[in-house]
Amino acid sequence: MDEIGKEEAALEAQIGELRGRLGGATTADASISSAQTLLTKLRKRLSEPLSWELKGQLVEALVAGVRVETLEIDGVKQARVIATYRLRQPHEATLAVPRTYASGPVRTAEEPQTIGDHIRKRRLGLKMLQKQVADQIGVDKTSVFNWEANSVIPRAKYMRAIVEFLGYQPRLPKCDFTETATFENRPWRR
């Protein structure tokens, strides 16, 4: 009889535990239903066009601050935007995480390695357009673009004008000019 009594007490304890779990599941089910209703309403609101007022409220709730800095690198002004986001409610203590956005970097050469690098560095330092440099050297702006992109090497006949534009004779790494180009398969104009 004692064993049956112990077994009965254990089963009653299990029943009590299961009733507690059932009550928790009912509460969880109500929470899930409430969240599902809230998400449905939110989805419906988001599918509608947002007013400027609502957009402003969203920005105020999510963004703690925005700072724009202007940097000048080799004579080129570049913008850097630093946005700080909130990770808590506006009335709570703000835990802000800064995030930096920069416009695409302007390619500059600290140590110019090619004629194109030298031209680009000098042009940006003088705040000139490629067209202005092209006019000064006596070529079209596409030539200056290609030289700066290092996709084409300037012809020897333009070197004097390039040196005048630079104001110095650029020191370049040694090049091996022993390779010769073959023009066997190229059509020639007559």
Domain boundaries, the chain: 1-48, 52-102, 115-166
pLDDT reading at 89 higher than 60: no
pLDDT > 70: percent of the chain: 78
Can you spell out the DSSP letters for 19-55?
Answer: HHHHHHHHHHHHHHHHHHHHHHHHHHHHHSPPPHHHH
Say whether pTM exceeds 0.75. Answer: no
The pLDDT value given to residue 88: 58
Average pLDDT over residues 76-86: 79
Q: What is the pLDDT of residues 156-189, one digit of tens each?
A: 999 999 999 999 998 876 554 444 444 444 444 4
Residue 132: burial class (beta carbons within 10 Å; 0-12, 13-18, 19+)? middle
Residues contacting residue 6 through CB under 8 Å, at least 6 positions apart: none
Q: How many residues are given for the chain?
A: 190
Mean residue pLDDT of the chain comes to 78
Residues contacting residue 127 through CB under 8 Å, at least 6 positions apart: 75
**For residue 91, what is the enclosing H or E element?**
none
Say if CB 150 and CB 117 are below 8 A apart. yes
CATH topology for the 115-166 domain: 434 Repressor (Amino-terminal Domain) (1.10.260)
**Nearest residue to 65 via CA among 99, 93, 92:** 99
pLDDT band at 135 (very low <50, low <70, confident <90, very high): very high
- Per the DSSP assignment, residues forming a β-bridge with 80 are 69, 102
pLDDT band at 140 (very low <50, low <70, confident <90, very high): very high
Nearest 10 degrees: Cα torsion 70, 167, 119, 143: 130
Find the largest Cα–Cα distance for the chain: 120
